[in-house]
Amino acid sequence: MAVVKKGELPSVIHNNECSEAIVKWGNANGYPLIKAKMFDAMGTYVGFSKNYFIRADRRPPIPGGWDLTVEEFEPETRIIPLNTDKDGVVNRFVLKMVEEFEKEGLEMKLADTWYDSYGYVLRDLSVTGHPLLITNFEDIIENMR
């Protein structure tokens, strides 16, 4: 991962405002994002795109504020099988999660066809993005089965 750009946010930005500030800063500086949030795997606020992410690291109380870092990464693609009904329709709650994770920076494409695997009807979902974000998505899908 290569650092592409650095920036900062003032100390008047509080935790609950940090996500919105990351998106605004990214959009203003040529690194558009739709959504940023606290990402536990990195221990800070992060906004993802298909091939870069912006992270905000809190500075010590003096001088305060946030250090922003834009880092490029090589996107990963994984195929995730989704459970469907007998007609190949995916659960609406799973589709809601797909929409949310697309806002968070994953690119997803649901296969047009479904298939039978050991008594389960499945459709493949192709997911491209940051490996940690894909892993979070997979964990949620696994818990919904």
The amino acid sitting at 5 is K
Q: At what angle do helices 131-144 and 92-103 cross, to 10 degrees?
A: 170
Give the per-residue pLDDT at 16.
86
Q: How distant, in Å, are the alpha carbons of 5, 21, 99, 108, 129 from that of 76?
A: 22, 27, 19, 12, 5
Is residue 29 very low, low, confident or very high in pLDDT (cuts 50, 70, 90)? very high
Q: What is the pLDDT of residues 114-127, one digit of tens each?
A: 999 998 899 999 99
Residue 145 pLDDT exceeds 80: no
- H helix or E strand, kind and range, residue 144: helix 131-144
Q: CB neighbours (10 Å) of residue 100?
A: 13
Q: What HEC string does 81-92 produce?
A: EEEECCCCCECH
What percentage of the chain has pLDDT greater than the value 70?
99
Q: What is the pLDDT of residues 93-111, one digit of tens each?
A: 999 999 999 999 999 999 9
Give the per-residue pLDDT at 144.
77
Give the residue among 44, 1, 42, 4 at the shortest CA–CA distance from 22: 44
Q: What ranges in 29-130 are assigned the alpha helix state H? A: 92-103
36 touches 15 (CB < 8 A) = no
Give the per-residue pLDDT at 1.
67
Q: What is the pTM of this model?
A: 0.85
Q: Which two tokens stand for residue 128?
A: 């491209």
Domain locations along the chain: 2-72, 76-144
Give the per-residue pLDDT at 63.
84
Give the per-residue pLDDT at 124.
96
The amino acid sitting at 53 is F
Q: In what order do the strands lie in the sheet with 2-9?
A: 2-9, 66-72, 52-58, 44-48, 36-39
Q: How distant, in Å, are the alpha carbons of 50, 60, 127 from that of 72?
A: 9, 26, 18
Class of domain 76-144: alpha beta
Give the per-residue pLDDT at 111.
94
**Looking at residues 41-69, what average pLDDT do you find?**
93
